[in-house]
């Protein structure tokens, strides 16, 4: 074989090797919804900005290193600040994710999201995604134009997490500030700090160093493929509100929700889910008329336990366990698509 032929064969072999290496990268899809991570400010140091201005393709271009981690494709679902997140977007997002993950070639999903309600979207997806492939939510506390913006590194870490085989089967994840957090337990703890996301009751599932994820735990709660909640044919969710308790509280919000025909009400109680007397009276009567009532707590850690100062079985109430009020609302909404039996719903609060 002459030298020229050897060079040609070597070039072909090298090309095939490089092509195979490129194909070996995991396929990760990025779904953008807006938020601070896509925000644009008037100054690099100011706090004034407009959320959701940067499109998904620009977010991807701004972090070219992610293409070393995965084969990336992006799509824009909506462009909103997450204070405006709603049931319509949740349902569209869950349906789109389930379609994408049904494709055998797609290995994981990253969702860019505002931080205000990121924990709620994460938990909703934790209950409605029907795949064990990684789904990772990510956001930022500083807009893309800020000095030392946190979004690019958060996005890089989120893609690394979605592309990691060890992320499979762990439920929906949140990646922020070099931590991997479980959708059920994560919550926003600070209004402006980059360290805002934490899991106060149980801590993070893992930490990230140099794009390497070190998992330290796995959630014991059932999620994703293990739940009975199928949203594929839903175009709306049951109406569920939250009533806040405090000293000398008014029962007017609770009465208004009952009169408006709400399907369920979550009480953000004091202490172990206790209620101001007039709110308790209103919700006890509502429960007798078929309104599902969940007792949760405004206290950031601990659990709302069954039959403490309130006899839940007597009044038909459900105790939220360690779910906060906003996540209790999500589980109650989805539960009501399947059942109106307080005992059945109580069992789901203990499972999910």
**What is the spatial distance between Cα 113 and Cα 79, in angstroms, rounded to a whole number?**
9
How far is it, in rounded angstroms, from Cα 60 to Cα 152?
9
Same domain for 62 and 211:
yes
Catalytic residue among 112, 115, 117, 224: 115
Q: What is the mean pLDDT of residues 88-96?
A: 99
Say if residue 3's pLDDT is above 60: no
pLDDT of 14 above 80: no
Which residues make up each annotated binding site? Answer: 82, 115-116
State yes or no: pLDDT of 19 exceeds 90: no
Burial grade of 42 (CB within 10 A; 0-12, 13-18, 19 or more): exposed
**Whether 147 and 255 share a structural domain:** no
226, 254, 271 — which closes off a domain?
226
Asked whether residue 255 is domain-assigned, the answer is: yes
Query: Which residues does residue 165 pair with via DSSP β-bridges, in sequence order?
Result: none
- Among 22-26, 200-204, 223-227, 346-350, the range scoring the smallest mean pLDDT is 22-26
Cβ atoms of 68 and 85 closer than 8 Å: no
Question: Each residue of 137-179: pLDDT tens digit?
Answer: 999 999 998 888 999 999 999 999 999 999 999 999 999 999 9
Active site (annotated) includes residue 115? yes
Q: Are residues 142 and 273 in the same domain?
A: no
Same domain, 286 and 218: no
Q: Do residues 144 and 170 touch, judged by C-beta distance below 8 A?
A: no
pLDDT band at 49 (very low <50, low <70, confident <90, very high): confident
Active site residue 282: no
pTM of the full structure:
0.92
- One domain, residues 155 and 276: no
Average pLDDT, the chain: 94
Q: Tell me, what CATH number does 73's domain have?
A: 3.40.50.1170
- Residue 321 is classified by DSSP as B
Binding site for substrate, by residue number, is 82, 115-116
CB contact at 8 A, 50 and 39: yes
Domain that holds residue 273: 240-351
Total of domains in the chain: 2
Q: What is the CATH number of the domain that holds 246?
A: 3.40.50.40
- Asked if the structure places residue 182 within a domain, the reply is yes
Of the residues 36, 117, 161, 282, only one is catalytic, namely 36
Same domain, 203 and 283: no
With cut-offs at 50, 70 and 90, classify the pLDDT of residue 47. Answer: confident
pLDDT range class, residue 12, cuts 50, 70, 90: low
Q: How far apart are CA 4 and CA 32, in angstroms?
A: 50
């Amino acid at each position: 074989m002459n030298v020229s032929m050897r060079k040609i064969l070597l070039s072909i072999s090298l090309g095939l090797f490089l092509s195979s290496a490129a194909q070996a990268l995991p396929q990760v899809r990025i779904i953008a919804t807006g938020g601070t991570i896509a925000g644009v400010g008037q100054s690099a140091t100011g706090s004034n900005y407009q959320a959701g201005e940067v499109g998904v393709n620009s977010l991807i271009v701004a972090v070219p290193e992610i293409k070393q981690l995965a084969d990336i494709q992006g799509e824009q679902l909506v462009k909103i600040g997450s204070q405006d997140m709603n049931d319509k977007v949740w349902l569209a997002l869950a349906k789109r994710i389930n379609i994408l993950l049904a494709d055998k070639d797609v290995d994981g999903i990253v969702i860019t999201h505002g931080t205000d309600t990121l924990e709620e979207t994460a938990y909703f997806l934790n209950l409605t995604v029907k795949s064990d492939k990684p789904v990772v939510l990510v956001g930022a506390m500083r807009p893309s134009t800020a000095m030392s913006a946190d979004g690019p590194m958060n996005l890089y870490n989120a893609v690394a997490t979605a592309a990691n085989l060890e992320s499979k089967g762990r439920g929906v994840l949140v990646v922020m500030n070099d931590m991997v957090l479980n959708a059920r337990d994560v919550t926003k703890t600070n209004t402006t700090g980059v360290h805002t996301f934490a899991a106060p009751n149980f801590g993070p599932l893992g930490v990230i160093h140099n794009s390497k994820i070190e998992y330290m735990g796995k959630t014991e709660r059932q999620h994703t493929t293990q739940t009975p909640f199928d949203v594929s044919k839903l175009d709306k969710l049951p109406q569920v509100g939250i009533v806040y308790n405090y000293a000398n509280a008014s029962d007017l919000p609770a009465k208004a929700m009952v009169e408006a025909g709400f399907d369920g009400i979550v009480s953000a109680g004091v202490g172990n889910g206790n209620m101001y007397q007039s709110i308790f009276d209103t919700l006890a009567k509502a429960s007798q008329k078929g309104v599902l009532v969940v007792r949760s707590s405004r206290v950031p850690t601990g659990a709302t336990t069954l039959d403490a100062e309130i006899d839940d079985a007597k009044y038909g109430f459900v105790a939220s366990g360690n779910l906060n009020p906003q996540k209790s609302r999500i589980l109650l909404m989805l539960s009501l698509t399947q059942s109106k039996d307080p005992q059945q719903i109580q069992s789901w609060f203990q499972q999910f």
